[in-house]
Amino acid sequence: MKKYLILTTILYTLMMPEIFGQCPTNNTILTSQEQVDDFTLNYPGCTELLGDLLIEDNFTTPINNLNGLTAITTIAGELRVDDNDDLNSLEGLGNLSSVASIIVNGNESLTTLAGLENITSVAGDVHFTQSNLVTLTGLENLSYVGGSLYIGSNDLTSLAGLESLTIVENNMNLSGGNFTSLTGLENLNVIGESLDIYSPNIQTLEGLENLNTIGSALILHSNDNLREHEENNLPV
User: What is the pTM assigned to this prediction?
Assistant: 0.86
The residue with greater pLDDT, 118 or 11, is: 118
Q: What are the pLDDT digits (tens) for 44-99?
A: 999 999 999 999 998 888 999 999 999 999 999 999 999 999 999 999 999 999 99
Instruction: Report H helices in the chain.
Output: 2-19, 33-37, 39-42, 224-231
* Interval 172-185 mean pLDDT: 91
Q: What are the pLDDT digits (tens) for 157-176?
A: 899 999 999 999 999 999 98
Query: Do the Cβ atoms of 218 and 194 come closer than 8 Å?
Result: yes
Which of 203, 185, 48 lies closest to 195, judged by CA?
185
